[in-house]
Structure 1
């Protein structure tokens, strides 16, 4: 009979167990640009909406939330795999963001943060003008070479 021992798998298991009890929990996010705004969505299942905090300080967007375990007086736990604790993510935002109009909503365990692009950072079309003197010279050259 052979026994195999993977020390890295055991470390992963211990790390996950320690994290599930204390400390900051992972917060999976998606971030994409759509038209003139960035959209950030974060999975925060089971989080009380009152504990969600989104703030901007200079060029740093911070998301905080807390998921607490419900009280189960007299219960004998057979398994406790759901994670509880604090969530924290920070994002650097550029100078082209309209900080005054950032908005957030929380629905069915998903936090959505809308980050609009400022007017001066939006792409714009630059009109190319021609100089009538240069245009007249290029016409003369074309006439001479023809």
Structure 2
């Protein structure tokens, strides 16, 4: 599967915004590293291709929480639960933030939550989608170890 891995810019996206990217024909070996605007990113025409957007470490805040027992990760209440757990630690209004739980998070055990500006993330992803490069995955540039605070 070919993979286009690109880093989202910290500034708001515009037509001239350049994305550093790496292209891999097999998802393991890089064949090209460059920078290009969204419109000039390499075409990913095959069905078995994937675009991965990387959120820069400077755009993220990480907080450790313990989800209450009984909360389902698919529950519509999950966001409200996270807001309640994080309200004293956030500098911005929770409505302006995007929360992402670490993979494998379970109720009753500590888990990391990645937090970033919701409008920035939405604009960044929409710019890529408009250029024909919708990300299949959004990943952090760097994440804390899952076994410690």
**TM-score scaled by structure 2?**
0.24
User: Which structure: greater helix fraction?
Assistant: 1
Q: Identify the structure with bigger relative contact order (alpha carbons < 8 Å, sequence gap 6+).
A: 2
**TM-score scaled by structure 1?**
0.25
Q: Which has the larger radius of gyration?
A: 1
